[in-house]
Chain A
């Protein structure tokens, strides 16, 4: 079981948090803070596992994380998950984000939290892995996106226009944090069928 999935940046600002067990908002923030504290002080070239499970649930939990550019992707899992499998899942997740946002960067995640959640929902459901095949995930995400668009229809057009205008006068929208450029060393794992 996956207990929680957290994304935060190099400064510990949460970018997405998904807890599969209930915690109060305060506890959630504390967990994010402590996880950040644990993860951020680790060197780049150390292993991606941390036995910091005291935060969530019992000691059998592990933190498995990856660091991409400005973002940390942290999965808190119990012993039923394969460590290397989860690492690969994080990779699939990030690659899917990259495909869906076209060169994803931190800002995409910031401004489209709902979309990130929707993508994640196609991969992990209630703490269990639902789908590991990237093309399948993308198909489903896109199909739902299409549905959304067709529902918005013409009525949605002006809103989109306004949003576009609003985005125009946004100077700080550089897509500088491109994870595609950063090569990620993945252990010799086959992609999941």
Chain B
């Protein structure tokens, strides 16, 4: 044996380790892939060995290969193996590998839950740390749900190292399992004031992340953060807090006012640039939020701008960059204070760093005014020429266009200048933005009427020189401009000086090399030009010119008719035929010009980009309703080809379309046309759109005669500069003129003076050169103003939009609805899906119930509030519907009930602290007491009964209603656990829905005194018997500790006197009499749940264990040591597991004859049979196998595999139970417990 180990370790020495692998890869530079594939084969061999060290080594190598881009997910299972090694060295390797390659889709993650839980509770802090680190990378919703409680416990760990990791990972848990946020939040908040700065920083970190997404929920934390901000010296924490304030101030301007002063102080005092920068940023945010309310913060703005200027002037590029970034934020609200630094920003445009130039560009966008636009753009144009690299140049180009076109060309005073700029931009080589320039040209030409003449002239030049744009095939981006040019020339051809020349330019053979859509526009607009030419020559005696034009078209168009592009082909052949016809008429000397022009009559108006979307849906129109019944699938397939051009797929068309279809289609078309004609909202192609131009004044604005003699001919020369000069001159002249005017005391303004807008005098002393008549874009009538941008529905942070205020209001009120408690082990689905849904309140002696009823009512109100609130919240979380369902439907029943139980049971014992041990009979799970009132008045305790008790009188009326509701609900239940829980739940006695079942709880008071109450859940979760524990079973007991005093409870120790049979599981190294530390502390009014594991050897006998809880009560003045004794009772029932059983298997079991029988008779049971069954199922963990009328067979199995079968019959208040089991003493005890259960009724 020893030899084997030695041999193993020697073998291992010669295995490749990570270093060898790396070295090998470096030595095989030529055939790296091949070398690695042999290495992977080796690794596969190593993974097959039993030696964990070898495996760990292999996994370590895989981590390296993963970084190189190799998929190692095939080794996921081996990684899990290495993770579960007991040695830290290997465990760490395993977790590292897992964190690198596990994700939500990795299926072996399911296997890790228990391992991680074990590691989290490991006595070695580094085991826990490694597990937390790993988990932070691969946590899934399932893991988050299962481990949330464990991690929450770790948040109060003694070691700060663990605490800070646990706090940090909670954020990931919240993201994956939003339900955990509310229960965990109070503790998270507590950690903000942790003595350890690391933990504090982690908590700040988490809350800042949370608050950034849903700031409004965290406003109430502002005072706490404010305190932290003024007290903390940790810059990292300060930065986070200050950033958080930046997010909070827009929601609460009052906060901003408070912040200004301390922030200003920080700005003055700190030497840390990072902190300074964040302070400035937040001050800016505050100022933005205040900008409407309080204007007098110019001092703060000045301070910010001044500090930012220092940053921008700094030689450190990083500071320069950030300074510009922050500056752009100020710009939005206080443009004037930034504009004074224009020089500095223009300087940054010359910076060698592209990021800085881009930032400066952003700033320029906001800094332009009518005055400086031309100057700035000129500067930018210079940069465009100088710029290296197309990306930056393209960026410049878009910026120029953005700057000029912003807010409806607000800053452009001279559109001729702008058109020239656009034309200049077309000379950029290889830009991608030809389309952008084109759309600007179109937009300006269409919307600024006064400029059309000039634009058309420019476009004609462009068309004439089209070869410059298209000469180089690489420049194809820019040829989009020709699209605009052709369209403008065609549409506004009345402004053309020499339409004939343009027409000729448009029909050059070279055009055929342009993209199809541009050719199509060429052809169409050639026709428009043709119409113009005809019109011009109409009436002339000599029709030569007109006929020449026709001939030109007839000569050139066939080129386009042959085009491969359908659109071009179609238009060309259409127009060609038309021209041929016109030619014929011309030869007969018929005047056709007017008719031809009529083809293109009417104006096209711009349509707002969102116009289509904003067409309101007329009343009574249901867009989802079928207009015609949907055709069968084969038919719909047939329709497809019609959408495509028929010529493309002629066979398709002919073969499939029957005549009937044709007719049908025609009919539909007719109907549609009719409908469109009657529909006022349908945008028709008819010239009805002209009505926009009827708007008063638009037509009467005189088109300015421009007496500028700018040479437009040479396309190679920039011309926009001249405008700059002219503009300056003009402004000078204007100024002089104005002065004159002023002297003459306001004569009438010049004809082209501004009528409409152009803002306040002070800023705009400049009169636009043309009247800027910007035609507004058309919108449909009744268009609804709407904001379209909703939050991204896939944002995981939406689910975390959870109201936390009621949590923060203090611990005195019950902070959480119990339904929100984090699931703990015992709440795992198996238990939930057991008959637990229909629960009977127990351990509530009737008298106490009456006594406490008043209290209860009050309590109830609170609870209702809580629950309503929580329900509302849940509604928000649409994403988590499934989980929510579970919570809404199943959980509330239990916990609320249990609360009542607590409350009800409280008064009799709360009087004396000494009399702590509640008689076990009243406590034990098997000894359920059902309040008399319940069968008659089940509503009283229904959790659904959220109507407050004020409405008690009305209740009777509502009862019926509620019953129905409940029925529905129950249906849901059954559906719900029918899926997962097996048949037992379906048969749980409620199938007929005779009468609603009273709710049941399985929490019972274990012990309590004036300080603390211990509640114990009886549905012990039974572990799978694993590994070397084969001879014993584990039982988990969940105990809720509730602090009833006003003091802080800490250092709780839970100890149990072990018996021979049952032992409390203690951590390694602890003596058999040592207590277990409860892993949390309890502030006043708070309750928390802890779980203790017991190992049990024999399960045939019930057990009682004596235990003690010691704790320290710490109030403001003093702290005392207190003690509470209790008795833990393990009934035999608690060893039974609800196990479904099919009736045939059940029959076989009974036939086998291995089981020994016993029976029991109960008298005077007057409860419905299904209640009785439900009770047995719930309290004794049985499942119903079969039920026939008043007779049912039931089954359960013990954790050690004993079968227990029951046959329950009832007649006239008498219940007889025949039972069989392979272990008679177990059976005897179970029957005794059954009897006890029912003797309490």
B172 interfacial by beta-carbon distance below 8 Å: yes
Pairwise interchain contact B209-A46, C-beta atoms closer than 8 A: no
Partner of B69, one of A29, A88, A133: A29
Pairwise interchain contact B355-A47, C-beta atoms closer than 8 A: yes
Pairwise interchain contact A85-B236, C-beta atoms closer than 8 A: yes
Pairwise interchain contact B161-A84, C-beta atoms closer than 8 A: no
Q: Which residues of A contact B233 (CB under 8 A)?
A: 193
Pairwise interchain contact A114-B88, C-beta atoms closer than 8 A: no
Given the contacts A126-B136, A192-B234, A80 and B209 also touching, CB distance less than 8 Å: yes
Q: Which residues of A contact B9 (CB under 8 A)?
A: 155, 158-159
Q: Which residues of B contact A147 (CB under 8 A)?
A: 88-89, 124, 126
Pairwise interchain contact A43-B19, C-beta atoms closer than 8 A: no
Separation of A125 and B128 alpha carbons in the complex (Å): 14
Pairwise interchain contact A46-B235, C-beta atoms closer than 8 A: no
Pairwise interchain contact B353-A128, C-beta atoms closer than 8 A: no
Number of A-B contacts defined by CB within 8 Å: 184
Separation of A130 and B209 alpha carbons in the complex (Å): 14
Pairwise interchain contact B322-A14, C-beta atoms closer than 8 A: no
Pairwise interchain contact A129-B89, C-beta atoms closer than 8 A: no
B937 interfacial by beta-carbon distance below 8 Å: no
A152 interfacial by beta-carbon distance below 8 Å: yes
Pairwise interchain contact A83-B318, C-beta atoms closer than 8 A: yes
Chain B, residues 243-273, CB within 8 Å of chain A (1/0): the string is 1000000000000000000000000000111
Pairwise interchain contact A111-B18, C-beta atoms closer than 8 A: yes
Residue on B with the closest CB to A140? B161
Separation of A136 and B239 alpha carbons in the complex (Å): 20
Separation of A88 and B318 alpha carbons in the complex (Å): 12
Given the contacts A16-B67, A110-B22, A126-B137, A158 and B209 also touching, CB distance less than 8 Å: no
Residue on A with the closest CB to B87? A151
B988 interfacial by beta-carbon distance below 8 Å: no
Given the contacts A43-B352, A114-B93, A125 and B23 also touching, CB distance less than 8 Å: no
Q: Which residues of A contact B13 (CB under 8 A)?
A: 158-159, 162
Partner of B274, one of A28, A51, A84: A84
Chain A interface residue count: which class? 35 or more
Separation of A163 and B197 alpha carbons in the complex (Å): 41
Chain A, residues 138-171, CB within 8 Å of chain B (1/0): the string is 0010011001100110010011001100110010
B198 interfacial by beta-carbon distance below 8 Å: yes
Separation of A80 and B67 alpha carbons in the complex (Å): 27
Separation of A188 and B124 alpha carbons in the complex (Å): 40
Pairwise interchain contact B19-A167, C-beta atoms closer than 8 A: yes
Q: Which residues of B contact A130 (CB under 8 A)?
A: 164-165, 168, 198, 202
Pairwise interchain contact A128-B209, C-beta atoms closer than 8 A: yes
Interface stretch, picked from B58-66, B589-597, B875-883, is: B58-66
Chain B CB within 10 A, most for which of A14, A117, A127: A117
B356 interfacial by beta-carbon distance below 8 Å: yes
Separation of A186 and B322 alpha carbons in the complex (Å): 15
Least CB distance, A155 to chain B, in whole angstroms:
6
Partner of A117, one of B96, B201, B212: B96
Given the contacts A82-B243, A84-B273, A147-B88, A25 and B136 also touching, CB distance less than 8 Å: no
Separation of A110 and B25 alpha carbons in the complex (Å): 11
B321 interfacial by beta-carbon distance below 8 Å: yes
Pairwise interchain contact A80-B274, C-beta atoms closer than 8 A: no
B1 interfacial by beta-carbon distance below 8 Å: no
B68 interfacial by beta-carbon distance below 8 Å: yes
Least CB distance, A54 to chain B, in whole angstroms:
13
Residue on B with the closest CB to A162? B13
Q: Which residues of A contact B352 (CB under 8 A)?
A: 43, 45-46
A118 interfacial by beta-carbon distance below 8 Å: yes
CB neighbors of A among B44-87 (8 A): 60, 63-64, 66-71, 87
Pairwise interchain contact A113-B316, C-beta atoms closer than 8 A: no
Pairwise interchain contact A85-B239, C-beta atoms closer than 8 A: yes
Pairwise interchain contact B168-A51, C-beta atoms closer than 8 A: no
CB neighbors of A among B124-171 (8 A): 124, 126, 129, 132-133, 136-137, 139, 161, 164-165, 168-169, 171
Pairwise interchain contact B133-A121, C-beta atoms closer than 8 A: yes
A134 interfacial by beta-carbon distance below 8 Å: no
B17 interfacial by beta-carbon distance below 8 Å: yes
Pairwise interchain contact B10-A158, C-beta atoms closer than 8 A: yes
Residue on B with the closest CB to A192? B236
Q: Which residues of A contact B319 (CB under 8 A)?
A: 187
CB neighbors of B among A85-130 (8 A): 85, 87-88, 110-114, 117-118, 121, 125-130
Pairwise interchain contact A46-B353, C-beta atoms closer than 8 A: yes
Pairwise interchain contact B168-A166, C-beta atoms closer than 8 A: no
Least CB distance, B71 to chain A, in whole angstroms:
5
Least CB distance, B1094 to chain A, in whole angstroms:
31
Separation of A158 and B234 alpha carbons in the complex (Å): 46
Given the contacts A128-B171, A155-B9, A162-B13, A80 and B243 also touching, CB distance less than 8 Å: yes
CB neighbors of B among A27-45 (8 A): 28-29, 43, 45
Partner of A111, one of B19, B67, B165, B271: B19
Separation of A155 and B137 alpha carbons in the complex (Å): 32
CB neighbors of A among B193-239 (8 A): 197-198, 201-202, 205-206, 208-209, 212, 233-236, 239
B320 interfacial by beta-carbon distance below 8 Å: yes
Partner of A47, one of B19, B139, B321: B321
Partner of B89, one of A26, A51, A136, A152: A152
Residue on A with the closest CB to B234? A193
Pairwise interchain contact A193-B235, C-beta atoms closer than 8 A: yes
Q: Which residues of A contact B208 (CB under 8 A)?
A: 80
Separation of A187 and B319 alpha carbons in the complex (Å): 8
Separation of A139 and B161 alpha carbons in the complex (Å): 11
Pairwise interchain contact A190-B272, C-beta atoms closer than 8 A: yes
Partner of A82, one of B124, B202, B239, B317: B239
Least CB distance, B453 to chain A, in whole angstroms:
42
Residue on B with the closest CB to A84? B274
Pairwise interchain contact A47-B205, C-beta atoms closer than 8 A: no
Pairwise interchain contact A47-B317, C-beta atoms closer than 8 A: yes
Q: Which residues of A contact B316 (CB under 8 A)?
A: 185, 187
Chain B, residues 316-359, CB within 8 Å of chain A (1/0): the string is 11111110000000000000000000000000000011111010
5 CB contacts below 8 A, A to B, read A14-B67, A25-B71, A43-B353, A46-B353, A50-B355
Q: Which residues of B contact A (CB under 8 A)?
A: 9-10, 12-14, 17-20, 22-23, 26, 60, 63-64, 66-71, 87-89, 92-93, 96, 100, 103-104, 124, 126, 129, 132-133, 136-137, 139, 161, 164-165, 168-169, 171-172, 197-198, 201-202, 205-206, 208-209, 212, 233-236, 239-240, 243, 271-274, 277-278, 316-322, 352-356, 358
Which 10 A-B residue pairings sit nearest by Cβ, starting from the closest?
A126-B136, A84-B274, A47-B317, A22-B103, A46-B353, A29-B69, A47-B321, A162-B13, A148-B89, A121-B133
Beyond A17-B67, A80-B212, A111-B22, 20 extra complex contacts between A and B, CB < 8 Å: A14-B69, A22-B103, A25-B70, A26-B69, A47-B355, A84-B318, A84-B322, A85-B239, A85-B274, A113-B63, A118-B96, A129-B236, A130-B164, A132-B201, A132-B236, A147-B89, A148-B88, A155-B9, A166-B20, A188-B273
